[in-house]
Amino acid sequence: MATTGATDRTGEALRIEGLHKSFGDLEVLRGIDLVIAEHEVVCLIGASGSGKSTLLRCVNLLEEIDAGRIVVASEEITAPKVDVDRIRRRIGIVFQAFNLFPHMSVLDNVALAPRRVLHKPRREADADALALLERFGLADKRAEFPDRLSGGQQQRVAIVRALAMQPDLLLLDEITSALDPELVAEVLDVIRELAAGGMTMVIATHEMGFARDIANRVCFLDGGRILEEGPPDRIFSDPREERTQRFLQRIIAAGRL
């Protein structure tokens, strides 16, 4: 709702109100309202083109929004004069296509932003990056270049790269969609570990089994709106909306649940 002034709801990681976004004539987001608590894991499901990725890109300010407001930890990030770079530091995003920097080693990929944005000395940034890589079983790949890694390894490095900035909020945009099936599990295991560690995450995904498993809440997007949301057990076993039912039936028919 349209609360004005400084919002100070402790325990709230992300608040989205009345978010609209169009690309030309195509209205991709048509009024999204969503509140996410700290340490909550929310999965966005829905057909391709339902607006999941656009929603995440808006939250990271990679897309300019047309209407509405987005508040991250009590600060309205869609306010006119906000420092975009400072906001992005606190919000990590992992992309479907990894988007690692191909001209840098794994270690440099992870350490780049801490060095250049947080101005950590190289030694410290490298040590921190290495510790993170170690935690996710990638320490032996530190000197490799991205094109020498498997898709699963690349995506894990991309996650580590986002984590190196110690974000308050992590956005995951269909991070397993570009992977061979046998590589999906290693990436999802990383996300499970992060969830167990209390990371606040918004996850756009086609992996329904995973969503059911990991999410505190599932939102079904349809035509740029959140049509239905609730705990995963209810959404998956007892969806109320007809469109949700049809979507899940198609997923089951495709053997993905």
Partner 1 sequence: MSVAGGPPSIIDLDVGGGGGPRPVRRRRQRFTWRSLTVAAVSTVVFFGILVAILTNAPGWARFQESFLNSEYFWRALPKVIEAFWINVRLFLIAEVVILGLGLLLAVMRGLPGPVFFPVRLLATVYVDVFRALPGVLVIFMLGFGIPGLRIEGVPIDPFFWAIVALSLLYSAYVSEVYRAGIESVHPSQEAAARSLGLSRPQALRYVVLPQAVRRVIPPLLNDFIGLQKDTVLVSFIGVVEIFRTAQIEQAANFNFTPYMAVALVFVVVTIPLARFTDWLVARDRARAAAGAR
Which among 73-81, 84-92, 126-134, 224-232 is the span making contact with partner 1, rule CB under 8 A?
A: 84-92
Q: Work out how close the CB of 27 gets to partner 1 at its nearest, in angstroms, rounded to a whole number.
A: 22
CB neighbourhood size of 74 (10 A): 13
- Residue 100 as a binder of partner 1 (CB under 8 A): the answer is yes
- Residue 135 as a binder of partner 1 (CB under 8 A): the answer is no
CB neighbourhood size of 224 (10 A): 23
Q: Which member of 102, 121, 198, 231 binds partner 1 (CB under 8 A)? A: 102
Interacting residues with partner 1 between 51 and 70 (CB under 8 A) = 60, 62
- Residue 81 as a binder of partner 1 (CB under 8 A): the answer is no
Q: Which member of 15, 21, 88, 217 binds partner 1 (CB under 8 A)? A: 88
Q: Which member of 116, 122, 135, 246 binds partner 1 (CB under 8 A)? A: 116
Owner of token pair 């939102």: 219
Q: Which is nearer to partner 1, 45 or 91 (CB)?
A: 91
Which among 11-19, 113-121, 127-135, 247-255 is the span making contact with partner 1, rule CB under 8 A?
A: 113-121
Q: Which member of 73, 77, 113, 138 binds partner 1 (CB under 8 A)? A: 113
- Residue 103 as a binder of partner 1 (CB under 8 A): the answer is yes
Q: Is 14 helix (H, G, I), strand (E, B) or coil?
A: strand
What's the residue count for the chain?
A: 257
Closest CA to 173 of 89, 73, 75, 53: 53
- Residue 93 as a binder of partner 1 (CB under 8 A): the answer is yes
- Residue 177 as a binder of partner 1 (CB under 8 A): the answer is no
Q: Residue 128 carries which DSSP code?
A: H
CB neighbourhood size of 85 (10 A): 9
Owner of token pair 């959140």: 226
Q: Work out how close the CB of 21 gets to partner 1 at its nearest, in angstroms, rounded to a whole number.
A: 16
Enumerate long-range contacts of 226-229, CB under 8 Å, 24 or more apart. Answer: 226/32, 226/33, 226/34, 229/34
The values of phi and psi at residue 246, to 5°, are -65, -40
Which among 26-34, 68-76, 99-107, 206-214 is the span making contact with partner 1, rule CB under 8 A?
A: 99-107
Q: Work out how close the CB of 69 gets to partner 1 at its nearest, in angstroms, rounded to a whole number.
A: 20
Q: Which member of 71, 95, 172, 236 binds partner 1 (CB under 8 A)? A: 95
Q: How far apart are CA 30 and CA 36, in angstroms?
A: 19
Closest CA to 79 of 165, 7, 169, 24: 7
Closest CA to 41 of 192, 185, 189: 192
Q: Which is nearer to partner 1, 88 or 141 (CB)?
A: 88
Q: Could you tell me what percentage of the chain is helix, strand and coil, using 3-state DSSP and rounding each to the nearest 5?
A: 40, 25, 35
The residues binding partner 1 (CB under 8 A) are 60, 62, 85-86, 88-89, 91-93, 95, 97, 99-103, 112-113, 116-117, 147, 161-162, 165
